[in-house]
Amino acid sequence: GKIYDLSVIAENIEDHKGNQTRFFLVQKDGIPPSSGHDKTALVCFQLSDTPGSLFSILAEFYARTVNLIKLESRPSKEGLGDYCFVIELEGHVSDPIVTDAIMSLKRKLPEIKFLGSFPNMTDPKGLPLESDASDPSRIWINKIIDRIQGNF
């Protein structure tokens, strides 16, 4: 509360000393520019709940050495046994390896929801990239990158 001149209602309520809480500004338009130490959050909807469907999603990040920080399965509410995956990864949507991984997922999945890119404490890693300006996944990811604050 000190930083923003707010009143503290209760103190020392944490389960573990050193716990931290992060708050995010959620807005319709605009993505913060890359800080060089970012996270990106996505929701990936699979084609079907079959053996290997999650692996095919994870393989895109593994192939590019993009570190996943969080993976959570959630019911998609589209049908019984139909799940989506909430993924947090190291890197910014404008980082070439992250862009490339998300483009590859866009080619193979029925839907991806981009939740945002935001500052983190670790660096993304790299790998050679695919590039084709006319690729529909490139056009899609470029629309997201164009929303980065300062690019519009």
Number of domains in the chain: 1
User: Does residue 23 sit within a domain?
Assistant: no
pLDDT of residue 66: 98
Domain carrying residue 91: 38-145
User: Does residue 78 sit within a domain?
Assistant: yes
Cβ proximity of 132 and 14 under 8 Å: no
User: Does residue 42 sit within a domain?
Assistant: yes
H/E segment holding residue 136: helix 136-145
pTM: 0.69
- 91 exposure class (CB count in 10 Å sphere: 0-12, 13-18, 19+): buried
User: Does residue 137 sit within a domain?
Assistant: yes
Around Cβ 55, how many Cβ atoms within 10 Å? 9
User: Does residue 33 sit within a domain?
Assistant: no
User: Does residue 123 sit within a domain?
Assistant: yes
User: Does residue 27 sit within a domain?
Assistant: no
**CATH number of the domain that 114 lies in?**
3.30.70.260
Quote the tokens at residue 53: 């469907």
User: Does residue 69 sit within a domain?
Assistant: yes
Pairing of strands 68-75, 38-45: unpaired
Phi, psi angle pair for 31, to nearest 5°: -125, 130
Around Cβ 7, how many Cβ atoms within 10 Å? 5
- For 33-75, the pLDDT digits (tens) are 898 889 999 999 987 778 888 999 999 999 999 999 999 999 8
